[in-house]
Amino acid sequence: MTTIGIVDTTFARVDMARVARKYIEENYPKIKIIQRTVPGVKDLPVECKKLLEEEGCDIVMALGMPGKEPIDKYCAHEASTGIIDAQLMTNKHIIEVFVHEEEAKDDRELADIATNRARKHAQNAVDLILNPDKLRRNAATGRRQGREDVGPVKY
């Protein structure tokens, strides 16, 4: 059975885990989901690694929402580095799904970006495990998570 781990944070302002989980459950009911919650983005790497190694997840989604302050950007960078290290240590993918608060002009747009990104990355997680050829077919097509797709460059 395919198992996807989802790790979110209490610091986030949008429940992206609920969105990702719902998308997977509605579209891929045979996939098992294991969900965990940690305080902030710097706590994501170890929990993702634990899900991969101790719970046998095939892939994990790391959902976080860094704030607007400079310290938040530093924390997000450190978390990203830890997530990369965890991927290399386990030889498995961790899809980093971060939404930075400054991406949006208001709370409505922030919610739209976060839900769009969570949904699209949930599909990416499934495709990495079950449909890698689909990702290959979509190479260089200008797909975006959190915003509308921009399409390929015409040349």
* Ranges 5-9, 37-41, 83-87, 134-138: which has the least confidence: 134-138
pLDDT tens for 28-55 read 999 999 999 999 999 999 999 999 999 9
**How many residues in the chain?**
155
If we measure between CA atoms, which residue out of 45, 40, 37 comes closest to residue 86? 45
From the CB of residue 134, how many other CB atoms can be counted at a distance below 10 Å?
Answer: 13
- Assign 62 to helix, strand or coil: strand
With a cut of 90, say whether residue 146 has pLDDT above it.
no
Over residues 13-28, the mean pLDDT reads 98
Q: Which amino acid is at 89?
A: M
Sketch the domain layout of the chain as residue ranges. Answer: 3-137
Cα–Cα distance for residue pair 92/62, rounded to 1 Å: 13
Identify the pLDDT of residue 41. Answer: 97
The model's confidence at residue 64, banded by pLDDT at 50, 70 and 90, is very high
Name all contacts of 50-56 with Cβ < 8 Å and 24+ positions apart.
Answer: 51/5, 51/7, 52/5, 52/86, 52/90, 52/92, 52/94, 53/90, 55/3, 55/5, 56/3
pLDDT at 148: 87
State the residue for tokens 């689909």.
134
Strands 59-64 and 3-9, by their bridges, are parallel
* pLDDT higher than threshold 90 for residue 147: no
Question: What is the CATH class of 3-137?
Answer: alpha beta
Alpha-carbon distance 88 to 24, whole Å? Answer: 25
88, 7 in Cβ contact below 8 A? no
* Residue given tokens 């030889």 in the structure block: 91
Per-residue pLDDT reduced to its tens digit, 114-142: 999 999 999 999 999 999 999 999 999 99
What's the token pair of residue 150? 């921009």
